[in-house]
A = this chain, B = another copy of it.
Amino acid sequence: MLKFDLLATDPDSHARRGTLTLNHGVVQTPIFMPVGTYGTVKGVMPRSLEDMGAQIILGNTFHLWMRPGLDVMQSFGGLHQFEKWNKPILTDSGGFQVWSLGAMRKISEEGVKFASPVNGDKLFLTPEISMQIQTVLNSDIVMQFDECTPYETKGHLTTEREARTSMELSLRWAQRCKTEFARLENPNALFGIVQGGMFENLRDESLAALVEMDFPGYAVGGVSVGEPKDEMLRIMAHTPHRLPAHKPRYLMGVGTPEDLVEGVAQGVDMFDCVMPTRNARNGTIFTRHGDLKLRNARHKSDPQPLDATCTCYACAGQSGVSWADGGRDGFSRAYLHHLDRCGEMLGPMLTTVHNLHYYLNLMREVRESLDAGQFSAFRARFKTERARGV
């Protein structure tokens, strides 16, 4: 099932506030969805995810198909029970990962042939098989199997003709997904994905054809695939707000905190990105006043937390009182710098909690500003604060 209720719209932008009801619960939108590739958001316990207000997480169909495999997933009745996450889950289609195999895969009308990166087995992924796997996973939101049109291939920019061929293939696959999803009597919700590369006319065609097929929700794919930032912003300004207003809109694989706030202004309801978790492991920290490089020697004996305004466990400890409000229970930059330098697991554990909390809290602030009819003011203040520097 999927039910989307629009609660408020911003008069000065395309921003919207809504609730998305799925089989495993209700999601407040706009929302950021942490990525849990192999059935785990890297470095985070499920209870920590709940503590920091995660409402829906991702799983990767391709990875879970490889390991632990469908037999194990079937025996657990799906991904929720396997990874002990009882709230909604969205799974991708496997298309993007198969695409990323590069020379190791061969695409035809029927689907994609490839060699398993785990054991070399020859495998075949089709729209039907993707639907079958996602049905076993029992994810609340199932993504159609598509071809993710690249921005460039070995220095060759994708031409309009190539982007059209790719987009049209994805449309035929969308229909096959829809048919198979219905045949499987999957009780969850299937999203169509708008493609068309960097060509707005192709995006319009893709969108129109998908709307004709009447999916319960739509994604914008083929962004955040290596294109320059202004190209990404151009597509983000073009496509989302043209999607049906009464259905949820998901911008795949985006992005920085600035991208998220801009995406909301352009009418996006849902985001996912590995950036908060991956950057945490590499020592890049998101804060209200800009990004912080934890490996910089200037943090060696700094007693401050990562973000003085933050109430996450890393910044505010058990009490949850921020440094700015007088709390002194959080972990210092000096300590986190030390843990990183010593290669201690606790380092990425704490920075991951912080970065995810930052993203989830940012979206909470976005929602609150929409509820209060103050999104424009929020957006301006957000930009100023982030530009201040940490």
Cβ–Cβ contact A71 & B301, under 8 A? yes
Within 8 A of B (CB), among A279-298: none
A329→B334 CA distance, assembly (Å): 36
In the complex, residue of chain B having the shortest beta-carbon distance to the beta carbon of A281: B345
Interface string of A45-74 (1 = CB under 8 A from B): 101000000000000000000011001100
CB contact under 8 A between A67 and B332, given known A75-B301, A346-B40, A346-B44: no
Report chain B residues within 8 Å CB of A68: 300-301, 334, 337-338, 341
Q: Is the CB of A345 within 8 A of B42?
A: yes
Chain B neighbourhood of A338, CB < 8 A? 38-39, 67-68, 72, 82
Is the beta-carbon distance between A335 and B84 smaller than 8 angstroms? Answer: yes
| Distance to closest chain B CB from A110 (angstroms) | 30
**Is the C-beta of A318 less than 8 angstroms from some C-beta in chain B?**
yes
Among B67, B84, B332, B339, contact of A331 (Cβ-Cβ < 8 Å): B84
Indicate with 1 or 0, residue by residue over A352-370, a CB within 8 angstroms of chain B CB atoms. Answer: 0000000000000000000
CB interface residues, A 8-37, toward B, < 8 Å: none
Which residues from chain B contact A72 at a C-beta distance below 8 Å? 300-301, 334, 338
Residue of B nearest to A337 (CB): B68
CA distance A69 to B40 in the complex (A): 35
Complexed CA–CA distance, A344 and B76 (Å) = 20
Q: Chain B residues near A145 (CB, 8 Å)?
A: none
**What's the minimum C-beta distance from A313 to chain B, rounded to whole angstroms?**
7
Shortest CB distance A275–B (Å)? 17
Count residues on chain A whose CB falls below 8 Å from chain B CBs. Answer: 40
Is residue A303 contacting chain B, with contact meaning CB distance below 8 A?
A: yes
> In whole Å, how far is A138's beta carbon from the nearest beta carbon of chain B?
16
Minimal beta-carbon separation of A43 from chain B (angstroms): 4
Least distance between A51 CB and chain B CB atoms (Å):
10
Within the complex, the shortest CB–CB distance from A332 to chain B, in Å, comes to 7
Number of identical monomers bound together in the oligomeric complex: 2
Q: Is the CB of B84 within 8 A of A317?
A: yes
A5 at the interface (CB under 8 A from B): no
In the complex, A83→B71 CA distance in Å? Answer: 43
Partner of A82, one of B47, B67, B83, B334: B334
A303 close to B67 (CB less than 8 A): no
Chain B residues within 8 Å of A303, by CB: 75-76
A76 touches B318 (CB 8 A): no
Find chain B residues with CB under 8 A from A348 CB: 345
Chain B residues with CB under 8 A of A349:
43, 45, 345, 349
User: Please, which residues of chain B bring their CB within 8 A of the CB of A313?
Assistant: 45, 47
CB within 8 Å of B: which A295-335 residues: 300-301, 303, 313, 317-318, 329-332, 334-335
Least CB distance from A357 to B in Å reads 14
Question: Top 6 closest A-B pairs, CB basis?
Answer: A68-B338, A40-B346, A43-B345, A38-B342, A72-B301, A75-B301
Could you list 20 further interchain pairs (A-B, Cβ under 8 angstroms) beyond the known A38-B339, A40-B344?
A39-B339, A40-B339, A40-B346, A42-B344, A68-B300, A68-B334, A68-B337, A71-B301, A75-B334, A76-B303, A76-B332, A76-B334, A82-B332, A82-B334, A82-B338, A84-B330, A84-B331, A84-B335, A345-B349, A349-B349
